[in-house]
C-alpha cells in the first residue's frame, strides 16, 4: 500500500460503507477495507483520530481523514489526491 492509497474503515452491515466500497471500485481506485468490528487495530486507529469515539465510515487518504463524507466531498478529495 502506498501513502495515498485510501483506507476505508467501516462495518459490513453499514450501507454507507457498502456504498463507498462500490463507488471506489467503480472508479477503479485501489483501496484497503478494514472492518472496525473485527479489526481492533483499525478500530483503535479511528478512535485515536476522533477523541476515543469509533466513527464509520471513515476514509484515510494520506494525511487526510474524512468522517462520513458526502459523495461530492469524497470525489473532490480523490481528485485532489489524483486518484481519479
- How many independent structural domains does the chain possess? 1
CATH number reported for the structural domain that contains residue 25 in this entry: 3.40.30.10
pTM, whole model, 2 decimals?
A: 0.91
- Residue 1 domain-assigned (yes or no): no
| pLDDT tens per residue across span 5-57 | 999 999 999 999 999 999 999 999 999 999 999 999 999 999 999 999 999 99
Q: Helix/strand/coil (H, E, C) string of the chain?
A: CCCCCCEEEECCCCHHHHHHHHHHHHCCCCCEEEECCCCHHHHHHHHHHCCCCCCCCEEEECCEEEECCCHHHHHHHHHHCCCC
Instruction: State the Cα–Cα distance between residues 9 and 54, nearest whole angstrom.
Output: 10
- Residue 61 domain-assigned (yes or no): yes
Domain containing 45 equals 7-80
Amino acid at each position: 500500500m502506498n501513502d495515498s492509497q485510501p483506507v476505508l474503515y467501516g462495518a459490513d452491515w453499514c450501507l454507507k460503507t457498502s456504498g463507498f466500497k462500490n463507488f471506489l471500485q467503480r472508479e477503479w481506485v485501489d483501496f484497503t477495507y478494514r472492518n472496525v468490528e473485527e479489526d481492533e487495530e483499525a478500530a483503535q486507529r479511528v478512535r485515536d483520530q476522533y477523541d476515543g469515539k469509533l466513527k464509520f465510515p471513515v476514509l484515510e487518504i494520506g494525511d487526510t481523514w474524512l468522517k462520513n463524507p458526502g459523495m461530492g466531498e469524497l470525489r473532490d478529495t480523490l481528485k485532489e489526491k489524483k486518484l481519479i
